[in-house]
């Protein structure tokens, strides 16, 4: 583990510190501050020339500030002659718009990909992009990690029985199918429509959920309107219990109030985003990504396989 450095932006310093502690590598000091007009100043505190640098920065709210900070940090590393710039971005904003749904719309997922590539990043490590095809928007290697094995391990360790995996829509079927296969469980799906942004109407539950613990697996909870509506529909269809497993907990607006009063008994989140104290309701439980990301960083630096991280032996997720 020679010639490796870890640096952190301001979006999620707790996660960066946890990763550094596991790897037993101190975070390289950086000076980041805002000028009076809102512009961002970024300076690396030590030499990085020819080093393998891992820049840890989620594009969390305020997303525009943290995205700009990410781009400025990458540019600083490039101009400091870093040997390789590896961007570790557990949550990448703007990925929900990966196509033109109606005329005269932008494709912001592609725009962000172009910005990151042009800034000078050599590699991107991220978790649960909204759509797998976004990897193809980048002209640099993308290590796209998935969160569902961590949820699977939690469910096994807590001996949750009579489970059925629920995909919230057709777009989430691949993720749901992967988790169902991992746990050897049946898969059901929600038929829904979205009349306006951040609102969904459940039309039907496709599959048998009666008397079972419904495990709803999704990538993002934003305002929580969709998952709350799905949890209600699952309970009405006879589900014994509803557990929501979501990689990215944005929890915007009244999301926590909705989740607190929802039919879900537990909400499992990964710490791709920092969770403010006022959002830590009793139903929410956080599963740390730090051990996985630390091992990913170690393997990338040493040129080892990442695929070997996700194996299934004796009903145990090995990470």
Nearest to 62 by CA among 286, 293, 276: 276
Domain 4-145+290-308 has CATH 3.40.50.2020: yes
Domain boundaries, the chain: 4-145+290-308, 148-287
Nearest to 191 by CA among 182, 183, 203, 181: 203
pLDDT in tens, 109-147: 999 999 999 999 999 999 999 999 999 999 999 999 999
Higher pLDDT, 226 or 68: 68
Q: Yes or no: say if 187 and 164 are a contact pair by the CB < 8 Å rule.
A: yes
Residue 212 DSSP label: S
Q: Yes or no: say if 130 and 86 are a contact pair by the CB < 8 Å rule.
A: no
- Hey, what are 202's tokens? 């459940």
Instruction: Confirm whether 237 is a catalytic residue.
Output: no
User: Domain 148-287 has what CATH class?
Assistant: alpha beta
User: Within 13 Å of residue 151, how many CA atoms lie on the same side as its CB?
Assistant: 29
Q: Yes or no: say if 217 and 176 are a contact pair by the CB < 8 Å rule.
A: yes
pLDDT in tens, 282-310: 999 999 999 999 999 999 999 998 887 76
Residue 192 has pLDDT above 80, yes or no: no
**Residue 303: Cβ-neighbour burial (10 angstroms; 0-12, 13-18, 19+):** exposed
Centroid of chain to Cα 24: 24
pTM score of the predicted model: 0.92
**CB-based contacts of 159, cutoff 8 Å, min separation 6:** none
Q: Which of 192, 212, 266, 314 is catalytic?
A: 192
Residue 278 DSSP label: G
Predicted pLDDT at 317: 43
Q: Which residue has the tokens 């920092």?
A: 274
């Amino acid at each position: 583990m020679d010639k490796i450095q870890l640096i952190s932006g301001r979006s999620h310093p707790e996660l960066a510190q946890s990763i550094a502690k596991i790897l037993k590598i101190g975070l390289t000091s950086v000076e980041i501050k805002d000028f009076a007009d809102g512009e961002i100043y970024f300076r690396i505190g030590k030499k990085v020339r020819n080093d393998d640098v891992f820049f840890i920065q989620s594009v969390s709210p305020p997303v525009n500030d943290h995205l700009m900070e990410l781009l400025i940090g990458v540019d600083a590393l490039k101009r400091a002659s870093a040997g390789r710039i590896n961007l570790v971005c557990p949550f990448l904003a703007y990925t929900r718009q990966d196509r033109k749904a109606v005329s005269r719309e932008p494709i912001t997922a592609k725009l962000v990909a172009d910005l990151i590539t042009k800034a000078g990043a050599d590699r991107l490590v991220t978790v649960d992009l909204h759509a797998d095809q976004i990897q193809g928007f980048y002209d640099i290697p993308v290590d796209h990690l998935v969160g569902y094995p961590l949820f699977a391990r939690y469910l096994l360790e807590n001996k949750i029985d009579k489970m059925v995996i629920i995909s919230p829509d057709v777009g989430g079927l691949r993720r749901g199918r992967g988790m169902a296969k991992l746990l050897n469980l049946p898969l059901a799906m929600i038929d829904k429509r979205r009349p306006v942004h951040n609102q969904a109407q459940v039309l039907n539950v496709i599959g048998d959920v009666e008397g079972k613990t419904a495990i709803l697996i999704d990538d993002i909870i934003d305002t929580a309107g969709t998952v709350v509506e799905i949890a209600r529909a699952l309970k009405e269809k006879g589900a014994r219990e509803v557990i929501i497993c979501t990689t990215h907990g944005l929890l915007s607006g009244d999301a926590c109030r909705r989740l607190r009063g929802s039919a879900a008994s537990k909400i499992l989140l990964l710490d791709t985003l920092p969770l403010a104290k006022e959002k830590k309701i009793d139903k929410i439980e956080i599963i740390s990504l730090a051990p996985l990301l630390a091992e990913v960083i170690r393997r990338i630096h040493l040129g080892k396989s990442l695929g070997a991280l996700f194996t299934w032996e004796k009903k145990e997720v090995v990470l």
